[in-house]
C-alpha cells in the first residue's frame, strides 16, 4: 500500500461521475479531516472504516448523466481510551458532519495497524519471553505473531475488552517459513485498546517440528525444465470497455465498487437482449465468511475467524501482478482505504478485469450434411485476491456469453499449523510433516445478492426433480421439475438437496418469454456441506447464517451482513436469524438472496507447504429469461490471429 497525505476540511467538489463510484482519495481525506475537526478527536481515536455511504436505491436507479450527485462518507471509529465505538456520516458535498452516534457494546474489526502493534506488544512481553525461553527460543525477533480474534465465550473478565488471542510461530532465519514451526500451547492474550499482554496461556511444552517448509526461489533450486512458453495475446485489444467504474462487455453491463469490509462489490448488472437492457441484480458481494476449526484442545477451540466482519477482506486485498495473478490484456482498478489513523492508503491493482477463453460454448455436427458448427466460449472475469494471515482467497465473478453468471472462490496459501509430540497421530487434523499438524476446518461463505430479475419485484421457488406419483406413472419412468413457492422468510430458509437436483429460481411474475414462461434466473449450488459445529457452539450462535444454504429477505437498506454489523467478539443472535424472526413476506417484492456455501478441508500432505488451489462457488443461470440461446449470435472463431477465415464453421 502507498500512503497519501491529502487533508482538507473544505467541501469536496463532486469528482464522481456516478452515485456509486467509490470514494476518491481526496474524499476519504476530507471525510477524516471533517470528523477530526468537528469532534476535536483525541489521538486515541482509530478509523476502522471510511467508505462510501451508498445513496438510496431509488436515487441510483433514477440517475441520469449530468444529474447532480450528493456524496456522503460512512465512518466507524474506535476510541482506545474509552473503549467506545462510534458511527459517523459526513456530507462531502456540504463539507460537514451530519451524523454521530455511539454504538454501545460492539467491537469494530481488527485493523491492520493493530496487527503490527499487537505483534510488537507480544514480543516485548516479559511473560511471553519467558514462555518461549522454556522452548529454547532466545530471539523474539524471529517470532511471528498472528493476532486472531478472541470470539465470544461468556467469560466475565473478557466482557467489554478488545482482545486478540495471538497464535505464534518461530522462524529459523529471517526468510524462513515460520508456519513450519508453531510455538505450540503458548497463547498471548492482548488488550488491543491498551496494546498490552494481559496474560500468556501456557498449555505445556511441545517440541518445535524439525523440518523446514520453504518454497521460495531462495530455497527451491530444482525447478522443472520442460515448461514451454504459453502466451495469451489479444492483438486488437480486449472486447470490454471501461468508463470510470462502469464496465461494458458484449451484452453485459455493470459497475464495480470496493469497500474495506467486502472488497469487490458489483452493482447494476444487466444483459442487453434485442436492444433492451434487462437488469439481473442491483448489488452483490461477499457478505461474510467464517472459518471454524475442529480441534477441541484448550488452545485451539477458539479458532473461529470471521474474515469479512472481524478483519475486513477488502483491507487485506493484494496488489495484483500482471502475468502472475492475472494473465492477458488487463484493466486494473485501485482500491482506496485508510489506515487506522485516517491516512489514505492505496491498494494498487486491487481489482483485475480481463477476458478468458473457456473452451466450447456450443457445438453441433449435422451428420447428414457433414456441416459442423462450433463456438468458442469467452468469459469476462472480475476478481480480487486477499491474504488473511496464512491463507489466500481469490474471489472471481465470471460472466458468460449465454447469460450465465458464476461466482468462484479459489482457496490457497498455507494451512494453519500446530505442533504435536513425536509419534503422535492427531485425531482432529493431519500430519503434513514430522510433528506438524494441520487441523481440520471449514471455510463457510455467504454471498448477498440484491436481485432485480427483469425488474424490482421478484419471488423465489424451490425446484426439485421428483418422480411422478404411481397413479400417473404406469411405466415407472416419469419425473418432472416440481416448483414450490417460498412465500415468507421462514419458508425460504432452505438446505441443498443434490439427490433431488435442487435449485432455486428467482422469478419475475410480471414478465414472460415467447413461450409464456415467467422470466427467471436459477441459483445452482455447487460443492456444499453444513457446519460441523454443534448447535450450541459459540460459532453457531455468532454465525447462524451458516445453518441454511438459502435465506431470502425483503430488501432493507440497513440489512447488509448476515452475522450482523459487528461480529467481532459479539455473542450472536443478530443478522439473518434476528431479521427473519418477523417472517416477512418475500413474494412479489424487492428481494435479497443470501447464499451460503461451505468447503470442508481435511488437510493432506499435498497441501504443504503452499496449498494448491481448491475451488468452490455457485452459478446463476437464465431460466426462460430469453426466448432462445442468447449466444446463437456469437461468431465463429478465426483459424489464427491473422486469418479471416473461420475454423469453427
506, 462 contact by CB (below 8 A) = no
Report how far residue 552's alpha carbon sits from residue 494's, in angstroms, rounded to the nearest whole number. 9
| Whole-number pLDDT of residue 101 | 98
| Whole-number pLDDT of residue 6 | 31
* H/E stretch holding 459: strand 459-467
| Whole-number pLDDT of residue 443 | 98
184, 173 contact by CB (below 8 A) = no
The answer to whether the bond into 609 is cis (omega within 30° of 0) is yes
Report how far residue 510's alpha carbon sits from residue 494's, in angstroms, rounded to the nearest whole number. 25
C-alpha cell at 67: 444529474
What letter does residue 307 receive in the DSSP assignment?
A: I
∠ CA 48-198-417 to the nearest 5 degrees?
75
CA 4 to chain centroid:
27
C-alpha cell at 157: 473478565
Q: How far is CA 632 from CA 374, 398, 636, 638, in A?
A: 11, 19, 10, 17
What letter does residue 132 receive in the DSSP assignment?
A: H
- Give the residue from 590, 460, 454 showing the smallest Cα distance to 519: 454
| Burial per residue of 556-595, b for 16 or more beta-carbon CB atoms within 10 angstroms, e otherwise | eeebbbbbbbbbbbbebebbbbebbeeeeebbeebbbbbb
pTM of the model: 0.95
Task: Compute φ and ψ for 548, nearest 5 degrees.
Answer: -130, 145
Structural domains for the chain = 2-103 (3.10.450.40), 112-202 (3.10.450.40), 240-457+486-623 (2.70.98.20)
| Whole-number pLDDT of residue 646 | 61
3-state secondary structure 527-551: CCCCCCCCCCCHHHHHCHHHHCCEE
Q: Name, in order, each residue with C-beta under 8 angstroms of 507's C-beta and a sequence gap of 6 or more.
A: 453, 458, 459, 460, 461, 518, 519, 520
| Whole-number pLDDT of residue 1 | 43
**Three-state SS for 190?**
strand
Q: How far is CA 225 from CA 21, 221, 229, 528, in A?
A: 46, 11, 11, 38
254, 261 contact by CB (below 8 A) = no
- Give the residue from 261, 150, 611 showing the smallest Cα distance to 412: 611
| Whole-number pLDDT of residue 244 | 96
| Whole-number pLDDT of residue 323 | 85
| Whole-number pLDDT of residue 638 | 82
C-alpha cell at 579: 431479521
Name beta bridge partners: 621. 522
| Whole-number pLDDT of residue 16 | 87
Kindly give the parts of the chain with pLDDT less than 50: 1-13, 642-643
For the CA atoms of 199, 201, 204, 205, the dihedral, rounded to the nearest 10 degrees, stands at -70
Q: Which residues carry out catalysis?
A: 307, 391
| Whole-number pLDDT of residue 267 | 98
Amino acid at each position: 500500500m502507498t500512503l497519501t497525505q491529502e487533508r482538507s476540511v473544505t467541501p469536496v467538489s463532486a469528482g464522481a461521475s456516478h452515485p456509486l463510484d467509490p470514494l476518491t482519495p481526496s474524499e476519504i481525506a476530507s471525510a477524516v479531516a471533517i470528523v477530526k475537526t468537528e469532534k476535536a478527536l483525541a489521538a486515541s481515536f482509530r478509523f476502522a472504516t471510511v467508505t462510501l455511504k451508498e445513496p438510496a436505491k431509488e436515487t441510483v436507479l433514477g440517475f441520469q448523466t449530468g444529474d447532480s450527485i450528493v456524496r456522503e462518507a460512512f465512518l466507524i471509529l474506535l476510541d482506545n481510551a474509552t473503549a467506545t465505538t462510534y458511527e459517523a456520516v459526513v456530507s462531502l458535498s456540504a463539507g460537514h458532519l451530519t451524523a454521530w452516534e455511539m454504538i454501545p457494546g460492539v467491537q469494530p474489526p481488527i485493523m491492520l495497524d493493530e496487527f503490527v502493534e499487537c505483534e510488537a506488544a507480544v514480543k516485548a512481553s516479559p511473560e511471553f519471553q519467558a514462555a518461549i525461553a522454556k522452548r529454547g527460543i532466545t530471539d523474539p525477533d524471529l517470532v511471528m505473531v498472528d493476532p486472531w480474534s478472541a470470539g465470544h465465550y461468556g467469560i466475565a473478565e473478557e466482557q467489554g475488552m478488545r482482545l486478540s488471542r495471538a497464535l505464534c510461530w518461530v522462524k529459523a532465519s529471517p526468510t524462513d517459513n515460520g508456519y513450519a514451526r508453531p510455538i505450540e500451547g503458548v497463547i498471548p492474550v492482548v488488550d488491543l485498546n491498551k496494546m498490552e499482554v494481559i496474560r500468556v496461556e501456557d498449555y505445556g511444552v511441545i517440541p518445535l517440528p524439525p523440518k523446514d517448509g520453504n518454497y521460495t526461489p531462495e530455497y527451491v533450486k530444482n525447478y522443472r525444465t520442460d515448461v514451454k512458453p504459453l502466451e495469451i495475446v489479444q492483438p486488437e485489444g480486449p472486447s470490454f470497455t471501461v468508463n470510470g467504474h462502469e464496465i461494458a462487455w458484449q451484452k453485459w453491463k455493470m459497475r464495480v465498487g470496493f469497500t474495506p469490509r467486502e472488497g469487490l462489490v458489483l452493482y447494476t448488472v444487466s444483459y442487453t437482449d434485442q436492444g433492451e437492457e434487462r437488469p439481473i441484480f442491483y448489488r452483490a458481494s461477499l457478505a461474510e465468511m467464517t472459518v471454524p476449526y475442529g480441534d477441541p484442545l484448550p488452545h485451539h477451540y477458539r479458532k473461529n475467524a470471521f474474515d469479512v466482519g472481524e478483519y475486513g477482506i477488502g483491507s487485506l486485498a493484494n496488489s495484483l501482478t500482471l502475468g502472475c495473478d492475472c494473465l492477458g490484456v488487463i484493466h486494473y482498478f485501485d482500491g482506496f482505504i485508510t489506515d487506522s489513523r485516517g491516512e489514505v492508503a492505496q491498494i494498487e491493482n486491487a481489482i483485475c478485469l480481463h477476458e478468458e477463453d473457456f473452451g466450447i460454448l456450443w457445438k453441433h455436427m449435422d451428420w447428414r450434411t457433414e456441416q459442423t458448427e462450433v463456438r468458442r466460449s469467452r468469459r469476462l472475469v472480475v476478481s480480487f485476491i486477499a491474504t488473511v494471515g496464512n491463507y489466500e482467497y481469490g474471489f472471481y465473478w465470471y460472466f458468460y456469453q449465454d447469460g450465465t453468471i458464476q461466482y468462484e472462490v479459489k482457496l490457497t496459501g498455507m494451512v494453519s499449523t500446530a505442533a504435536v509430540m513425536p509419534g503422535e497421530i492427531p485425531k482432529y487434523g493431519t500430519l503434513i510433516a514430522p510433528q506438524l499438524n494441520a487441523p481440520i476446518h471449514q471455510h463457510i461463505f455467504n454471498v448477498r445478492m440484491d436481485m432485480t430479475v427483469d425488474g424490482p419485484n421478484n419471488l423465489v421457488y424451490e425446484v426439485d426433480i421428483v418422480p411422478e406419483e404411481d397413479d400417473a406413472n404406469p411405466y415407472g419412468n416419469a419425473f418432472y421439475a416440481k416448483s414450490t413457492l417460498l412465500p415468507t422468510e421462514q419458508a425460504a430458509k432452505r438446505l441443498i438437496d443434490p439427490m433431488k437436483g435442487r435449485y432455486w429460481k428467482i422469478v419475475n411474475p410480471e414478465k414472460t418469454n415467447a413461450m409464456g414462461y415467467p422470466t427467471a434466473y436459477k441459483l445452482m449450488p455447487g460443492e456444499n456441506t453444513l457446519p460441523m459445529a454443534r448447535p450450541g457452539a459459540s460459532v453457531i450462535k455468532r454465525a447462524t447464517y451458516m445453518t441454511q444454504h438459502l435465506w431470502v429477505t425483503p430488501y432493507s437498506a440497513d440489512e447488509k451482513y448476515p452475522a450482523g454489523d459487528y461480529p467481532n467478539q459479539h455473542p450472536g443472535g443478530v443478522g439473518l436469524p434476528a431479521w427473519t424472526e418477523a417472517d416477512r413476506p418475500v413474494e412479489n417484492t424487492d428481494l435479497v438472496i443470501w447464499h451460503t456455501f461451505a468447503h470442508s478441508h481435511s488437510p493432506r500432505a499435498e497441501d504443504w507447504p503452499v496449498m494448491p488451489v481448491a475451488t468452490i462457488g455457485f452459478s446463476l443461470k437464465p431460466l426462460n429469461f430469453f426466448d432462445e440461446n442468447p449466444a446463437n449470435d456469437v461468431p465463429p472463431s478465426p483459424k489464427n490471429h491473422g486469418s479471416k477465415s473461420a475454423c469453427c464453421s
